[in-house]
Amino acid sequence: MMIRQNVLIVVLFGMVLSGLIYLNNIQCSCNQQITEQGFNCSQQITEQGIIKPKWKQKIFGLRSSPGLLYNQPSVLVGRTDVASVSPWSAPIIWEGNFDSTLIDSIYKQQNLTIATTVFALGKYTRFVKDFLESAEQHYFVGFRVHYYLFTDQPESVPEVKMGENRSLTVQKVPSLNRWQDISMSRMEKLEKLIENELVNEADYIFCLDIDAKFYGRWGAETLGRLVGVIHPWLFNVPRSQFTYERRPESKAYIPVEEGDYYYAGAAFGGSLEDVHHLTKTCREQLQIDAANSIEAVWQEESHLNKYFLLNKPSKLLSPEYMWWDVNEKAAQIKIVRLTNVPKNYADVRPNP
C-alpha cells in the first residue's frame, strides 16, 4: 500500500511540474513574439499559440438620453435627389438624412476615443496648420480625439492649440524620393500603429490626407465598422469610367464589368479591428505587386478599392466628406465638410 501511495504522489508531482513547464514555455513564447513582432501587452494567445490583438471592448446599442428633444423622423420625407442606402443596405451619409443632436447624444455616452492619422512628408508640412486648426473647429467636436502625424520633418510642425481631450502625437518617418512610395508606405505604417499603440486605447480610427481643410461638421454620423468615402470626381459616372487598376497582373485588378463605387484613398476609417485587417491586406497586396515589378495605377487607393469591392463598407460617406474644391459646387452637395486644398503638385511633390 505504501508503494502505491508513493507512486501516486510521484505521478501527481510530475503532472503539476509538466503543467508549470508548459505554462512557462507559453509565457516565454509570448514574450519572444511580442519582442519580435512589436505587439504590446494588451494582446492574447489563441489556442494555436498565435499572438492576436485584444481589441478595446465597445459599448453596443444605440441608447438615447431620456428627455432629449429633436425633430420627429419621417419614413416619407427625406432626400430624393440622392441614394441614402447601398445595394447591401449600408447607409450613405448625406446632409439631411441624420439628426446631429440625436446622434451626438447617442455616441457621447460611450466615452469614445477617435484616433486620426495624417502624413506630412517634405513640403506637405505646409498643410498641417490649416488641417489641424480647421479640424479643431469641425471634426468630432466634443469627442476625445488623438491625432497621429507622420512626418520626416518634426521640427517643421507648427504649434496648434488643442481643445479639451484633444492631443497630437508626432512620429518621425524616413524621407522618400517618390510621392508614389509615400502613398504606398501608408498602409504598413497604419497597420503597425494600430498593433503597437492603438490596441485597447482607441475605439475608432480615421485615416485622412493632410492637404485638406474642414469647412463643416464631420462627426459621430461617420462612425461605423468599416467606412469608405465616395470619391468626389467619380460619384456620378458609370463604373466603366472608374479609374480602377485594369491590369490582371496586379492584385488590385478589377474588371470593367465589376465595381460598386469608386472610393477616395484620402479618407477611410472604422473600428480598429476592421481597419487593421484592411491595412494589413492592402500592405500584403502591395508587396506582392512590388515583387512582381508592378505598381497599381493609383497605388494604395487602387488596393483600397479592391478591398472595398470584396469587403463591403458598413457605412459610406457622401462626397461631402471629401470634396475636391470648396469653390466648386454640385447640385447634390448641400454642404462641403472636408475638401482638398488647391495646390501646384509640381511644387509640393518630390517627383512628377
Task: Return the active site residues.
Answer: 301
Is 120 within 8 Å of 157 (Cβ atoms)? yes
211 is in an annotated binding site: yes
For residue 47, say whether it is annotated as part of any ligand binding site.
no
C-alpha neighbours within 13 Å on the C-beta side of residue 169: 12
Is 181 annotated as belonging to a binding site? Answer: no
Torsion of CA 255, 258, 261, 264, to 10 degrees: -20
d(CA 273, CA 280): 11
Instruction: Please tell me whether 300 is known to bind a ligand.
Output: no
277 annotated ligand-binding residue: no
For 34, what's the count of Cα atoms within 13 Å in the CB-facing half-sphere? 14
Report the sign of the C-alpha dihedral through residues 331, 335, 337, 341, in that order.
Answer: positive
Burial 233-259 (b: 16+ CB within 10 A, else e): ebbeeebeebebbeeeebbbbbeeeeb
**Is residue 209 marked as binding?**
yes
- Rounded to an integer, what is the distance from CA 43 to the centroid of its chain? 20
**Residue 243 known to bind ligand:** yes
Kindly give the interhelix angle for 299-310 and 179-193, rounded to the nearest 10 degrees: 50
Cell numbers 509565457 correspond to 27
Annotated binding site for UDP-N-acetyl-alpha-D-galactosamine: 124, 209-211
Annotated binding site: 124, 209-211, 231, 243, 301
